[in-house]
Amino acid sequence: MLLTTVDVSTKDATGLHEKLDRKKSVEQHNSDTQQRFADQMEAMFTEMQTAVEQQGAKQQAMLSSYKCSVAELQKVNDRSVSGMMSTVTASFQSIKDLVHSSMAKCHAGMMEQETLCGERRTLHSSSGEDGLSPALGSPQHCVVAQD
């Protein structure tokens, strides 16, 4: 019986060692799997972070490009508005000069007409036509054709 007990004890010890070896093997497998999973997750997160940074850089470049385009359009519009303002100012000055010139001609024509009326009055009064002098000498009846 002692031999049987030793045999059983040896089998139990061997079984226990085998069980511990299997447990150790499973734990090693789980540890390796966890490490691979962690490495893969780290690689994916790094890849995602790189992609996000690249996308951010692209969007920043696009924004800078848009800023430059808008700034250039602003400059073109400013030059265009400045040119239009110069043209409008020149047009108004030209109109002002034309009105001034026309007014000067009109004034000169009126002065000439007044002078002619005065000369006719003097001419008629000195020629002895006393009956016609008052009618011809009045400014409202003296009309001279204008050019």
Token pair listed for 60: 């920043």
For residue range 56-86, list pLDDT tens digits in order.
999 999 999 999 999 999 999 999 999 999 9
- pLDDT score of 14: 86
Whole-angstrom Cα distance, residue 147 to residue 112? 12
- pLDDT score of 130: 52
Q: Answer for the pair 139, 117: CB distance below 8 angstroms, yes or no.
A: yes
Assigned domain for 125 exists: yes
Assigned domain for 65 exists: yes
Name the domain count of the chain: 1
Structural domain span for residue 134: 2-141
Assigned domain for 107 exists: yes
For residue range 98-143, list pLDDT tens digits in order.
999 999 999 999 999 999 999 898 888 887 655 554 555 555 544 5
Assigned domain for 146 exists: no
Assigned domain for 100 exists: yes
Assigned domain for 147 exists: no
For residue range 9-24, list pLDDT tens digits in order.
787 788 888 999 999 9
How many angstroms separate the Cα of 7 from the Cα of each of 19, 35, 67, 125?
18, 41, 88, 173
